[in-house]
Structure 1
């Protein structure tokens, strides 16, 4: 059964604990939209997230308070229709099929940001964000500065744009060390986005089996 995510129905989305290391796609997720931008559609189906984007952009996110010290993550993603390759370092021209954001911070910042929105998490000076992307015009494995997050965030391309299925496993410790020279101890939250507004194209995709390690 397809459920379209709305902010009105998910106003208090962070309270329930995660089951083991799995992150289910359930009603714990909230949507973050952008001013004057039409939003994507998301289908929360338990172990799978469906994503539909038609010249649109938005994110869905949830907090991860029960697994603060995760060392990595794994998931599978499938794209059946997607955007062309873009320059992910260009603000306002960086469409991508899918992206997973993982937000980290030190203990004091984590305590100060309890219950904070995604906007506050991404904007916190002490936060450090890894953005794993399927898309872009550079080779997989490339790490780039984020045009939106400044020194707080790095984009890591895992797969080129295009269709098909792929499984991923990422190492937070290694990527944080490479990106920032340090490993903030606390994982605060995870977000998923799709972005097709700059190229006015269409994305039809799914993410499944999202787990923390």
Structure 2
């Protein structure tokens, strides 16, 4: 019995040690998606987001040591919410906050280490999973992105539009297979966005304690 207990403790320690925290204080850049509007971001212990009838994203590269990450956990809060929308509708898909995971084939990852987010989004080999808090969809529903090349990106609905504070845990391996039907490549980028331009509403949200495992 004692040996089993010790083994369980060691496994737990290994699991905790293998989780790689993602800092929000450095390395993030805003990418505008519109010439006329953008969100306001604050970077520090958490990433704060205010969006007033606007849309943009903040993104960062993932270090080579985390290219093989197969899961992620994070906390997020929404204090002011957009209305529920249809996340499959281009031009009508506002959401409070989304966390993007950007993948490329493992063989291509070294060549794309210096690529910016626009270059990655324009690369036909790139695959994107976006976990969203917003819309009116059932939790876990996989929604084809109405933007970009067909088959490049999906949105996975985690929470419907509304306020609150929650802890999330996702299985990137399983969700990638469900979304694209193949094994995932290297995780090379992360992004956070808020989208309120279609409904001309206001978002106040934040994300923190993001770890890759």
TM-score in same-fold range (> 0.5): yes
CA deviation vs aligned residue, 1:65-117 (integer Å, no higher than 9, x gap): 23110011000111010100011111111100000110111122212212111
Whole-Å separation in 2 of the counterparts to 1:144 and 1:125: 19
Which residue in 2 is equivalent to 1:108?
Answer: 107
Shift of residue 196, structure 1, vs aligned partner: 0.4
Q: Does 1:84 align with 2:92?
A: no
Shift of residue 164, structure 1, vs aligned partner: 0.5
Structure possessing the higher radius of gyration over alpha carbons? 2
Which residue in 1 is equivalent to 2:38?
Answer: 39
Q: Does 1:179 align with 2:174?
A: no
Shift of residue 24, structure 1, vs aligned partner: 0.8
Aligned length: 194
Shift of residue 185, structure 1, vs aligned partner: 2.8
Q: Does 1:54 align with 2:49?
A: no
CA deviation vs aligned residue, 1:13-34 (integer Å, no higher than 9, x gap): xxxxxxx610010120011002
Segments of 4+ moved more than 3 angstroms: none
Whole-Å separation in 2 of the counterparts to 1:37 and 1:108: 38
Unaligned runs of 5+ in 2: 1-18
Alignment of 1:1-213 (within 5 A): 21-46=20-45, 48-65=46-63, 66-149=65-148, 150-213=150-213
Whole-Å separation in 2 of the counterparts to 1:35 and 1:173: 32
Q: Secondary structure at the match of 1:94?
A: coil
Q: Determine if contact 1:37/1:57 at 8 Å carries over to the other structure.
A: no
Whole-Å separation in 2 of the counterparts to 1:41 and 1:172: 28
Normalized against structure 2, the TM-score is what? 0.88
Whole-Å separation in 1 of the counterparts to 2:86 and 2:36: 20
Unaligned runs of 5+ in 1: 1-19
Shift of residue 122, structure 1, vs aligned partner: 1.7
Shift of residue 186, structure 1, vs aligned partner: 0.6
Cα-Cα RMSD: 1.3
Looking at secondary structure, tell me which structure has more helix per residue: 2
Normalized against structure 1, the TM-score is what? 0.88
